[in-house]
Amino acid sequence: MSALQVVWFKRDLRLVDHRPLYEASQHGTVLPLYIVEPELWQQPDTSLRQWRFIRQSLVELDRALRQASDEGLGGLVVRVGDAVEVLSQIHAEYGIAHLWAHQEVGNAWTFARDRAVRRWVRQQGIPFTEFPQDGIIRGLKTREGWKEHWESVMAEPLVPPPKALSLADVPSEPLPMVPNSQMDDDPCPNAQPGGRSQGLKLLRSFLNERVRRYPRGLSSPLTAESACSRLSPHLAYGTLSLREVVQATRRRLAQLQSDPQKAGMARALSAFESRLAWRSHFIQRLESLPSIEFENMHPALNGMREEVNPVLFSAWAEGRTGYPFVDACMRMLYNTGWINFRMRAMLASFACYVLWLPWRAAGLHRSRGGRWVCIWRASMWTMSRASTGAKCRCSRAVQGWARSESTMWSSSLSTKTRTGLSFGGGCLS
């Protein structure tokens, strides 16, 4: 077997509009690789409900790869472990002629991992080509001209999937049910299912029908469940590319604009299109200023709200503050993994301004999709500073808020939700 063209899948779980896969297919036999990294799943912004969405998407990706194979062989190769160690093992056994991937704008951990991989390929003399995604520019010094750049990227033709894909006949490890054995169970009874087919189904239903409810329905959690696109997780993990969503949106918008009777739908779709650009805008902000993952944007706020009150944090995160609207939204997040973006902002404001909790602790909880199991663990770093005599009891303030109708109202809202899972969606719902 000659050395392989290794395509490293990360947040791009699709065949359509996947330049690394297409380019690799033009150079030789392809090994499509997904690395399950247990250390990644120890990070405070991860949860098992996220992994379930990814796993469903990987199962569908494997099936699509097998269907695209010219001999019906191969499929997605799964390896569990550290990325550098996994690549080293593959190189030692099969030889890597070229490593291909998309650039990932993740967190500090994924950035450090990518740097370690780049060091390793340089040491091995292996070419490593990374393609940008979503109009994001790595190492951008100024935003001047960025909007024009984004528009030009969105207007480029979609990269077609390889027609006859020569896949390496390399055995795969089983796709684990849990990416890290130390993860706690994380029930999410009404989670949004993963997979490209689900993403396409949502895209079609939104563009053709649900968008008419978008302007009036996106704000309330009672209506946003069906009025919003629900594409956030599919864009976050790349079962759909942003470019294909933008182009499909613009094609539909052109159809609607030609019919005066559908002017309302056209305005709604135009508003949605602008939020697709906002999404890239904020991702570019994180790429250009990665310190905002950990630090205040304004230094005058340093030293403010650095202590996590574990009692107040748990009350907020578990939806039992006694404020019915807040609790209902948090319980919806827990049950579905999703909440519309205006309610995400409300939950953050309540946590930071009413309960005076640190923004990062509140942000990590929401980034996990409302996973309750991690709550106490996330606040343990402050417990040593709390009163040693304090037990898990509500503060006087929270006791004063508690009302029985809060539970009833929260439950009534939560039962109205059926599907959803939003990770990394930014301002897009």
Contact between 332 and 413 under an 8 Å Cβ cutoff? The reply is: yes
CATH topology classification for 4-131: Rossmann fold (3.40.50)
CATH topology classification for 196-293: 1.25.40
What pLDDT score does 325 carry? 96
What pLDDT score does 411 carry? 34
Round to whole Å and give the CA distance between 346 and 64.
40
DSSP state of 112: H
Reported for 212-215, long-range contacts at CB under 8 A and 24+ positions apart, including other chains, are 212/264, 212/265, 212/268, 214/268, 214/269, 214/271, 214/272, 215/264, 215/267, 215/268, 215/271
Position 303, amino acid: G
What pLDDT score does 370 carry? 67
What pLDDT score does 429 carry? 56
What the block records as the tokens of 232 is: 């956030």
Contact between 376 and 382 under an 8 Å Cβ cutoff? The reply is: no
What is the DSSP track for 43-66? Answer: STT--HHHHHHHHHHHHHHHHHHH
Enumerate the CATH 3.40.50.620 domain ranges in the chain, comma separated: 4-131
What pLDDT score does 270 carry? 96
Going residue by residue through the chain (429 aa), what tens digit of pLDDT does each one get? Answer: 689 999 999 999 999 999 999 999 999 999 999 999 999 999 999 999 999 999 999 999 999 999 999 777 789 999 999 999 999 999 999 999 999 999 999 999 999 999 999 999 999 999 999 999 999 999 998 999 999 999 999 999 999 999 889 999 999 999 999 999 999 888 899 999 999 999 999 999 999 999 999 999 999 999 999 999 999 999 999 999 999 999 999 999 999 999 999 999 999 999 999 999 999 999 999 999 999 899 988 888 898 888 899 999 999 999 999 999 999 999 999 999 999 999 999 999 999 999 999 999 998 888 887 665 443 333 333 323 332 233 333 333 333 333 333 333 333 333 332 223 333 333 455
What pLDDT score does 136 carry? 97
Position 104, amino acid: E
* Residue whose entry in the numeric block shows the structure tokens 């905002």: 292
Enumerate the CATH 1.25.40.80 domain ranges in the chain, comma separated: 196-293
Round to whole Å and give the CA distance between 385 and 369.
28
Q: Please, which residues have CB within 8 angstroms of residue 274's CB and are 6 or more apart in sequence?
A: none
Strand partners, 413: none
Position 256, amino acid: L
User: What does CATH list as the number for 299-414?
Assistant: 1.10.579.10
How many other C-beta atoms are found inside a 10 Å radius of the C-beta of residue 281? 18
